[in-house]
Amino acid sequence: MSESTSPVAVIGGGLAGLAAAVTLAGRGHRVILLEANEWLGGKAAVLEGEGFRFDMGPTILTLPRVLKRVFAEAGCDIAAELDLVRLDPQWRCFWDDGQVLDLVGDVDAMVSNIERFAPGSGAGRGYRRYLAQSQRLHGISENFFFWKSVQGIGDTLDVRANMNLSTLSDVLALRMGQTLGGVVRRHVDDARVAQMVDHFVQYVGSNPFAAPAVLGAIADMQTSEGIWYPRGGMGAVPAALARVARAAGVEVRTGAAVEAIRSEHGRVSAVTLAGGETIRVRAVVSNMDAARTYRELVPAAYRSELEPSPSKQVEPACSGVVFYLGLDRAYDHLAHHSFVFSRDAHEEFEHIYTRGELAPDPTCYLAAPARTDPGVAPAGGEALYVLVHTPYLRPHHDWKRMLGAYRKVVFAKLARAAGLKDLESRIVFEEHLTPEDIHRRYRVLNGAIYGLASHGRFIGAFKPGNRRRRLPGLYLAGGAAHPGPGMPMVLMSGWIAADSLDADLRAAAKAAA
């Protein structure tokens, strides 16, 4: 087969791989998607049993316009593919002292909520100021970080060409050298409200007291553009992407684990599957975790590009444990999304991110989707999803031993702070997902849910770039690549990888003509 008729390969059918495949096929490339598991969607998997249906991974969808742009690449309209429902309140927040605060999208209404919740603290005004700053950071992210392959400040900012007063003011607004947690507390003078605002950065599995202030943009992305639920559950998203990919001509192979990326004459030439089959390819988008792509698939001569030395290894984001609880009676006081906050944000983050140990009193995230989508549970019941962030896997973590004890800690917390006192008696179906399961099922780094940690006041916002410089023909997509984790960002990373690949192949064809 000549090079020009060889397909491009996408390794992995997670949301990023599917977005890359749809975009590449939409641009006219022959695409083969190779997924190790028997299902598509990666972490956006679905669990069904005894009349209950659970989204196993992501439950919160923000920035649906990213998905819209991916569908548009294949000539499809998002409204024809997905029935998206906007949720408000966005989160219901619970604390040990019995206080409850609803996070709503409208800023004026939210400021009033906070003033009632923490009277006299000024936290409402502080929240408004923080969101105004977040909106600015969101705009800057759109200009400098989004929709292009970026690995460091030099990729996004050409100081000589672009440096004018407006750019300088944008750079200053990034508040380089400041942590997100620090900036939040300068604005919001109430520990509980600050804790709520910190949690936007939990979408990227990182410590607010080590993450750069620029990640404050996430608050505006959610509050202004909303939280969305696809009717049928989050699994409807990869199902729609897979449908569009196949219709656009993508050859989808499940049960196809890639064991090696091959190179010839200094560029990607083929992939080899477990079992020995080798497929010649023009280029590869890897949706496998970036570090594991380099450690396990890339030819040895190129491995040091991502991790130049043992002291410069990447840091995984946090992991998590999920309980999927089929209840015969729903809890009416829960919102679709609720957070039950820890007693002390510093103690919690110190345990998870610094010590690498379970938080003694964790924040629990709950999804109770039956109120939006009654089909997820038998009549009157609930498919309750409980997620608790944990450290990424360390050698001494043995989840077969840790799970039972931590379940008790989590259930006690839910009883104490969120009133789920009779939770055990309502459970008629139960499954769980531990960091070890996440590590094995999705082939990630140390069980990380959200790719690489966004730690470091100056460089924490940067992830490995999508276009790889030392091995032409290799592109990275997914939570451990630019622009980072979470549904909208991984979909965007798939689009960027595909767009870069498309541009490079077109440029090569033009040069050869």
Ligand X SMILES: Cc1cc2nc3c(=O)[nH]c(=O)nc-3n(C[C@H](O)[C@H](O)[C@H](O)COP(=O)(O)OP(=O)(O)OC[C@H]3O[C@@H](n4cnc5c(N)ncnc54)[C@H](O)[C@@H]3O)c2cc1C
Binding site for ligand X (CB under 6 A): 11-17, 34-37, 42-44, 57-60, 203, 257-258, 287-288, 320, 322, 387, 438, 442-444, 449-450, 478-479, 485-487, 490
Q: What's the closest the beta carbon of residue 166 comes to ligand X, in angstroms?
A: 31
Nearer to ligand X, 144 or 365 (CB): 365
Nearer to ligand X, 362 or 478 (CB): 478
Nearer to ligand X, 53 or 187 (CB): 53
Q: What's the closest the beta carbon of residue 490 comes to ligand X, in angstroms?
A: 4
Q: What's the closest the beta carbon of residue 275 comes to ligand X, in angstroms?
A: 12
Strands 61-62 and 52-55: unpaired
Nearer to ligand X, 174 or 490 (CB): 490
Q: What's the closest the beta carbon of residue 472 comes to ligand X, in angstroms?
A: 20
Nearer to ligand X, 58 or 89 (CB): 58
For 152, 155, 342, 385, 390, the CA distances from 148, given in Å and listed in that order, are: 12, 9, 37, 35, 32
Q: Under DSSP, is residue 486 helix (H, G, I), strand (E, B) or coil?
A: coil
| Tokens describing residue 241 | 């992407």
Cα separation, 173 vs 168, in Å, equals 9
Q: Under DSSP, is residue 218 helix (H, G, I), strand (E, B) or coil?
A: helix
Phi, psi of 416 (to 5 degrees): -70, -45
Closest among 268, 368, 277 to 327, alpha carbons compared: 368
Closest among 355, 274, 280 to 2, alpha carbons compared: 280
Q: What's the closest the beta carbon of residue 332 comes to ligand X, in angstroms?
A: 23
Nearer to ligand X, 87 or 487 (CB): 487
The DSSP string of 36-102 is SSSSSBTTS-EEEETTEEEESS---EE-HHHHHHHHHHTT--HHHH--EEEESSSEEEE-TTS-EEE
Beta-strand runs (E) in 328-421: 337-340, 364-367, 382-390
| Tokens describing residue 172 | 């200053």
Q: What's the closest the beta carbon of residue 244 comes to ligand X, in angstroms?
A: 16
Nearer to ligand X, 188 or 290 (CB): 290
Q: What's the closest the beta carbon of residue 242 comes to ligand X, in angstroms?
A: 12
